[in-house]
């Protein structure tokens, strides 16, 4: 398991990562025998708010009673207390939908990551300059591909931020994933700068941001909620 001396590499490990995510998220569904009643939310001043249901989207925690949403980063804790069977069923359904959405986003990210890592290796060449490695037409094509990839990553980042989180415990996992995508975006942008300018400093930055994106994968797996 990640965080216990076993590294799960990002590239080429889509099915392994998906299996870990699936396993951890399914554990986060309450057991059928539970008998709970409400969610108790501790606010920034220590006050306790009771709600029949809640969800997190972006930076806000929404309450089903129509009250003003809370800044999720000011919430101290959320715990369940005597949920009814109906509430448990709603929670289970929300977790099923969330898990399916996460696995789909991870597939998209893996595809983008794999292509970018391969292309970064291609433009690095054997130490030659960008002018020596590629004809002008190929450089134009590379620019188009990198710009398209940058847009795809921006869309992916927005999709993660707009995910409806059914559990407060999923917040850290989501935020780490967004940071990982930001690092991958930065790598793509620096690679584009290198193709445009030929400045090897941009290439070095692109490689470093890609390394950071890989390291965030370990943190993402460690942040998965576990019983």
Quick one: how far is CA 24 from the chain centroid? 15
pLDDT band at 5 (very low <50, low <70, confident <90, very high): very low
Confidence of residue 52 (pLDDT cuts 50, 70, 90): confident
DSSP string of 129-154?
A: -HHHH--HHHHHHHHHHHHHHHHHHH
Q: What is the DSSP string of 7-49?
A: ---STT-HHHHHHHHHHHHHHTSPPTT--EEEEEEE-TTS-EE
Distance CA 169, CA 227 (A): 11
- Burial pattern 158-169, b for ≥16 Cβ within 10 A else e, equals eebeebebbbbe
CATH for the 92-223 domain, from 1.10.10, 1.20.120, 1.50.10, 1.10.4190: 1.20.120
Tell me: the pLDDT tens digits for 115-154?
999 999 989 876 667 877 788 898 999 999 999 999 999 9
**DSSP state, 58?**
T
Closest residue by Cα to residue 225 from 154, 156, 176:
176
Q: Strand 77-83 relative to strand 70-71: parallel, antiparallel, unpaired? A: unpaired
The bridge status of strand 48-51 relative to strand 70-71 is unpaired
Delimit the CATH 1.20.120 region(s) of the chain: 92-223
Highest average pLDDT, of 7-11, 33-37, 150-154, comes from 150-154
Q: What CATH number labels 31-87?
A: 2.30.30
pLDDT score of 18 more than 90: no
The stretch 203-212 carries a mean pLDDT of 96
Q: Is the confidence at residue 218, as pLDDT, over 50? A: yes
Tell me the average pLDDT of the chain: 84
Task: Kindly provide the b/e burial profile for residues 197-208, where b requires at least 16 CB atoms within 10 angstroms of the residue's own CB.
Answer: eeeeebbebbbe
In this model, does residue 19 exceed pLDDT 70?
no
Q: How confident is the model at residue 24 (pLDDT cuts 50, 70, 90)?
A: low
Residue 155 DSSP symbol: H
pTM of the model: 0.80
Q: Where in the chain is the domain with CATH 2.30.30?
A: 31-87
């Amino acid at each position: 398991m990640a965080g216990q001396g076993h590294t799960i590499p990002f590239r080429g490990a889509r099915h392994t990562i998906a299996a870990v995510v699936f396993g951890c998220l399914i554990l986060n569904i309450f057991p059928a025998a539970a008998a709970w009643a409400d969610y108790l939310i501790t606010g920034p001043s220590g006050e306790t708010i009771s709600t029949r249901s809640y969800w997190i989207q972006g930076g806000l925690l929404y309450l089903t009673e129509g009250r003003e949403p809370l800044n999720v980063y000011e919430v101290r804790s959320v715990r369940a207390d005597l949920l009814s069977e109906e509430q448990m069923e709603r929670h289970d359904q929300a977790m099923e939908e969330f898990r399916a959405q996460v696995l789909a986003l991870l597939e998209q990210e893996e595809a983008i990551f794999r292509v970018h890592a391969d292309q970064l290796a291609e433009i690095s060449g054997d130490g030659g300059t960008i002018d020596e490695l590629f004809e002008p037409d190929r450089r134009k094509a590379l620019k188009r591909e990198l710009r398209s990839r940058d847009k795809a990553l921006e869309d992916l980042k927005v999709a993660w931020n707009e995910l409806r989180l059914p559990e407060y415990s999923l917040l850290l996992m989501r935020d780490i994933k967004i940071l990982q995508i930001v690092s991958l975006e930065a790598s793509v942008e620096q690679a584009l700068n290198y193709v445009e300018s030929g400045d090897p400093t941009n290439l070095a930055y692109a490689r470093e941001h890609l390394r950071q994106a890989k390291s965030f994968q370990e943190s993402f797996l460690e942040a998965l909620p576990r019983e």
